[in-house]
């Protein structure tokens, strides 16, 4: 039985709505309505948190919405925290699409989590999302950390897919700028380069429900005003020069066996280790890209989200 067959069988038994591939012929706004709109209300073992609160972060182009998650085991502030960037190819996704993942990261790590609702394309093209990531980091370091109960010196960055790109970029940018570096980076099936797209040959099993070569081109075409920017080191941190990689914070990279981004994640971890950076990987060989958003129907996804939190919490001294 293929992954697709097993997934459909489980979905039918649980009477869940069908998850269809995105129709890339639609305008962007209907696509956003399609993206990861899953009902988490009846999810098994959903973690109970001490507090969930809306935040506003000042950005260069205007206020940035954010959400603070405080787990029951966070302890007396200030304590360690995680700055989280959602996936969605810089075009899709928001605070709600990744709400349950942030809850589980907070519960597993015992750290406060701040999720950032950065600007999306095509309304806001490159480097808008990257600028918002830097603005959020600067806010945490300067005064936002204290307001959220977070010790800025014990702050990690994290993100899935395109959000993993923003987390990796932020770490490299702090090396380049000699600014305050994150204490840890958690990269969840990260998008680490936007250059090699058409050579990503994928069977239906590899692409699963959420990803395809056409989808990569759709995202790239909306976010990058100039195709030549795909090799910009902000956009493709995998190809950054060695001087940008030395001295990076420790990294943990979560990978999926059926994911066209797997190999670049493996390559990035190997590259970091060759330069003396502490980097580890955890591969879920039977999972597809984006599986951490399938927690209502996958015990593996629920376990993996919590384990990613545990790794981060231990790195930050919260556990």
Q: Is 98 a catalytic residue?
A: no
Structural tokens at position 33: 């309505």
Structural tokens at position 118: 């950065």
Phi/psi region, residue 114 (left: phi>0; alpha: psi -120 to 50; beta: rest), is beta
Annotated active-site residue in 117, 132, 160, 259: 259
User: Which of these, 157, 228, 160, lies nearest to 192 by C-alpha position?
Assistant: 160
Contact between 90 and 163 under an 8 Å Cβ cutoff? The reply is no
Annotated active-site residue in 109, 128, 161, 212: 161
Strands (E), 246-308: 251-258, 279-288
Chain mean position to CA 52: 19
Annotated active-site residue in 86, 98, 252, 289: 289
Q: Is 232 a catalytic residue?
A: no
DSSP string spanning 6-74? Answer: HHHHHHHHTTPPP-PPP-TTS-HHHHHHHTT----TT-TTPPPEEEEEEEEE--TTS-EEEEEEEETT-
Q: Strand 79-85 relative to strand 112-117: parallel, antiparallel, unpaired?
A: parallel
Torsion of CA 198, 190, 298, 2, to 10 degrees: 30
Chain mean position to CA 67: 15
Q: Is 130 a catalytic residue?
A: no
Q: What share of the chain is helix, strand, coil (3-state, %, to 5)?
A: 40, 20, 40
> What is the rounded distance in angstroms from the CA atom of residue 10 to the CA atom of residue 24?
26
Structural tokens at position 235: 């956009």
Residues annotated catalytic, as ranges: 161, 259, 289
């Amino acid at each position: 039985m293929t992954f697709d067959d097993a997934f459909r069988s489980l979905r039918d038994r649980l009477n869940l709505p069908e998850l269809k591939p995105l129709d890339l012929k639609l305008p962007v706004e209907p696509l956003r309505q399609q993206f990861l709109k899953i009902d988490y209300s009846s999810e098994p073992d959903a973690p109970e948190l001490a507090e969930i609160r809306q935040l506003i972060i000042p950005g260069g182009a205007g206020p940035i919405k954010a959400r603070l998650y405080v787990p029951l085991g966070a302890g007396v502030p200030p304590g360690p925290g995680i700055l989280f960037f959602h996936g969605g190819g810089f075009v899709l996704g928001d605070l709600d699409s990744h709400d349950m993942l942030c809850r589980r990261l907070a519960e597993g790590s015992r750290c406060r989590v701040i999720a950032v609702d950065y600007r999306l394309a095509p309304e806001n093209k490159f480097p808008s999302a990257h600028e918002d990531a830097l603005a959020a980091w600067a806010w945490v370091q300067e005064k936002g950390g204290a307001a959220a109960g977070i010790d800025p010196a014990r702050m990690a960055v994290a993100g899935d897919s395109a959000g993993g790109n923003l987390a990796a970029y932020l770490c490299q940018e702090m090396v380049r700028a000699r600014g305050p570096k994150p204490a840890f980076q958690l990269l969840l099936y990260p998008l680490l380069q936007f250059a090699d797209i058409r050579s990503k040959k994928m069977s239906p099993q590899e692409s699963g429900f959420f990803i395809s070569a056409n989808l990569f081109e759709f995202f790239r075409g909306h976010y990058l005003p100039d195709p030549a920017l795909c090799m910009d080191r902000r956009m493709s941190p995998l190809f950054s020069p060695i001087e940008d990689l030395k001295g990076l914070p420790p990294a943990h990279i979560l990978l999926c066996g059926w994911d066209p981004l797997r190999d670049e994640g493996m390559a990035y971890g190997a590259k970091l280790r060759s330069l003396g950076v502490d980097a580890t990987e955890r591969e879920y060989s039977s999972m597809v890209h984006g599986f951490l958003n399938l927690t209502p129907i996958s015990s593996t996804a629920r376990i993996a989200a919590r384990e990613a939190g545990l790794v981060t919490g231990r790195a930050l001294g919260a556990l």
